[in-house]
Chain A
Amino acid sequence: MTGLRLAAVLLAVFAASFALAQGDPRRSGYREMGPALQKMQDDDAANPAMLFVQAGAAAWAEKAAAGKSCADCHGDATASMKGVAARYPAFSAEAGKPIDLEGRINLCRTTHQQAEALAPESDGLLALSAYVALQSRGQPIAPPDDARLSNLRAEGAELYKRRQGQLNLSCANCHDDHAGRKLAGATIPQGHPTGYPIYRLEWQALGSLKRRLRNCVIGMRAEPWSYDAADYLALESFLMQRAKGMAMDAPGVRP
């Protein structure tokens, strides 16, 4: 009897979530790609981002100045890092401010490993973040329910709608108002950060969400922010909140 009731409840939950999934108008960048590129991403033996993941796995086990590796504290990343990338940016009590995944990696390096921080967009930082992000593949994006992030998200939301640059465009002009339509040959995606860091064919390299945002700012003909600008963190926080519940597909391949 209890079993039957449980089954009924599960069925109802399943039906509800299925309906929700069907009704969710959000589409990841993965879904906007053609089958050839989706196949490239899906095959771990073909996805070029996996070269960086391999380097990241090696870096995870490498001892730094203090004689400690990531693994010494965090153990097996496939278990300990599951879902972690899906939760950043998050508020760090240690730093006393919100940080993103790259910020978290560098905080670990400078405090626990007594190593130098890795430069933004350096192969070392991208490799580690790709390795950590891979452990969240298939996990729903789960921004922390933390009031200390509210201001940052609000700032990001405002930034997302703010027109800027010589073209006087906002993020929303393309990624809300015209998402799914074409700009030149490319489909304009909705701008959900499900796959970062991504191997972008245009770059012929792996890059972070910051690099992608910077790339958009340049596209608007606005002055790009430096990599340590708070604007990125605000936009990242807003975009992750906006993509809450969507499945991670990092490391992604994008055109």
Chain B
Amino acid sequence: MANVLVNAPKTAKKGEIVEIKALIMHVMETGYRPGTNGRIIPRNIIGDFTATWNGREIFRMKMSPAIAANPFVSFAAIASESGTIAFRWSGDEGFVAEHQVSITVT
């Protein structure tokens, strides 16, 4: 299972802008480097990252090989309603990782 570290507040006031940070363990192999045998190591990256709030998309990102290993993304969101913030990373070699956190909005 993929190792994911998400940081989001557990509670927020309605209408407040919260900052969400998401880290995931992944090599982000660029596909441009030769390995010890001199052959190019095949590309293996996360290409897509999405975040949804109670199923509604709040952030989407398309990554290229120029995103650093163990990708870190931080973005803002308006605390709209209590529920679940869900994250999904997908990429080469069938990679998929999902994670969710709950948030109480008062």
Residues of A within 8 A of B (CB): 43-46, 48, 50-51, 54-55, 204-205
Contact = CB atoms under 8 A, between A and B. Distances in A.
Contacts of B21: 43, 45-46
A55 B21 CA distance: 18
B7 A48 contact: no
Contacts of A46: 21, 23, 72, 74
Contacts of B74: 46
B5 interface: yes
Contacts of B64: none
A225 B28 CA distance: 29
A54 B3 contact: yes
A223 to B, nearest CB: 18
Nearest to B7: A45
Given A48-B70, A51-B3, 7 more contacts: A45-B21, A45-B23, A46-B21, A46-B72, A48-B69, A51-B23, A51-B24
Contact of B25 (A43, A44, A45, A51): A51
B68 interface: yes
B69 A50 contact: no
A54 B70 contact: no
B3 A48 contact: no
Interface residues of B, number: 14
A50 B70 contact: no
Interface string B1-29: 00101010000000000000101110110
Contacts, number: 31
Given A45-B21, A45-B23, A46-B21, A51 B69 contact: no
A204 B3 CA distance: 15
Contacts of A45: 5, 7, 21, 23
Contacts of B68: 204
Interface string B58-74: 00000000001110101
A54 B99 CA distance: 14
Contact of B3 (A43, A55, A205): A55
A204 B69 contact: yes
A39 to B, nearest CB: 12
A44 B28 CA distance: 21
Nearest to B69: A204
A51 B27 CA distance: 13
A48 B5 CA distance: 9
Nearest to A55: B3
A123 to B, nearest CB: 9
Contact of B69 (A44, A54, A55, A205): A205
Contacts of A54: 3, 5
A50 B23 CA distance: 9
Contacts of B7: 44-45
Nearest to B2: A51
A51 B69 CA distance: 12
A242 B70 CA distance: 33
Most B CB within 10 A of own CB, among A44, A45, A204, A205: A45
A43 B5 CA distance: 12
Contacts of A51: 3, 5, 23-25, 70
11 contacts: A45-B21, A46-B23, A48-B23, A48-B69, A48-B70, A48-B72, A51-B23, A54-B3, A54-B5, A204-B68, A204-B69
